[in-house]
Chains A and B, each alone.
Chain A
């Protein structure tokens, strides 16, 4: 058997060269490639929304003993966003609805409460199991009566403009909550107090914290990370 000589190394280089050029240097592809990748991402969103996603399939629920000992929180503001003690807070709900309204935390807590222990999937690849309590988004939607034009929902926050856009089916999913409780306790500022969106069928970056407003829309809203390139659907 011959050993790998210099010529062989040159040939290996011929194969490996173009491959590493493609992979090379953390290249993001430039604007031309980026816009095509965005188109592909929208195609994948379409497949995710219309073929892979079921509006009734439930994410697995866990016993409370399966809870993770840590649940990382994050925000885009420099400091943990908190409300001034004197500031009255209410969730404004409007847009393509017949009965726009504003709900205080007390009013939300009087609606039927749902509590579940589910697995959180971060886009980075880590998971954590935690318990969340809140009201089904569909119950709040029933109060404001979305019009036929409402096809999406936009969630706004007081975290430095962080927001998300959702497809209606995911928002109306039975496990999608407006959550005010975390691990048997009131939601704290590190996880989005006083109210956050939670659902085990979406990646973490779709779950708007520090909610201020819910808007039903006819056109597709973007999102803080989504506008920068993250998949819009974020459904899992």
Chain B
């Protein structure tokens, strides 16, 4: 390996790295067991009326290779067991952001709209110079705020279809049981879309960020983020 011309800087704390990878594993299991559950009733709505919503997977049996649990009961048990580490990891991460004040560097706010557009122009080669930024640029803030919100929506819509009578207020908030189940399913594809963009951005734009999420130390072309 050749000597890197970049300085070595501390990028991610242990808790962020731990929750990141735990979340990646648990979320994979949640999605796989969720797809197992979906194949038991491959539509949205009641038995006879379909919700007026698009579903490219209507009637589709997901292949065994992407399902976890073997059958409906197995899928349910995996899903409801993994929900614990998913929620605990999420709360630990959010608690850490709040206690350390790091949420300020991650929360997308209205003032980030203009720099986000500038950043997008830069990425599209329509703007020459990299816009000034803090630890994360406005587009990253948008992405990280989106994914935390998506996590919250997934968990809440999950509870809405888990206990539609006891938590009926929550189920109503999502438009009733059938819609809550639909939003819970839509969240899966948003997670997968995010992961594709996220991994592509790491590999194509800043490879040094991958080891930094493992060791905590970053040695790459954007050392000044901190």
A residues neighboring B (CB under 8 Å)? 1-2, 4, 8, 11-12, 15, 18-20, 22-29, 34, 36-38, 40-41, 44, 48, 52-54, 57, 59-60, 68-72, 119, 121-129, 200-201, 225, 228-231, 235-236
Contacts and interface: CB of A to CB of B under 8 A. Distances in A.
B48 to A, nearest CB: 5
B163 A52 contact: yes
A47 to B, nearest CB: 10
A15 B77 CA distance: 25
B40 interface: yes
Contacts of B72: 123-124, 230
A26 B81 contact: no
B170 to A, nearest CB: 11
Q: What is the interface of chain A mostly: helix, strand, loop, or mixed? A: loop
Interface string B148-178: 0000000000000011111110000000011
A25 B178 contact: no
B84 interface: yes
B90 interface: no
Nearest to B38: A125
A102 B159 CA distance: 40
B139 to A, nearest CB: 15
Contact of B40 (A18, A28, A29, A124): A124
Given A8-B203, A20-B66, A236-B163, A26 B36 contact: yes
B64 A235 contact: no
B70 interface: yes
A20 B204 CA distance: 23
A230 B65 contact: no
Contacts of A200: 165
B100 interface: no
Contacts of A25: 64-65
6 contacts: A41-B81, A44-B80, A122-B41, A123-B76, A124-B41, A200-B165
A127 B178 contact: yes
Nearest to B82: A40
B48 A229 contact: no
B135 to A, nearest CB: 23
Contacts of B73: 225, 228-230
B163 A28 contact: no
Contacts of B188: none
Contacts of A225: 73
Contact of B70 (A4, A28, A121): A28
Nearest to B123: A1
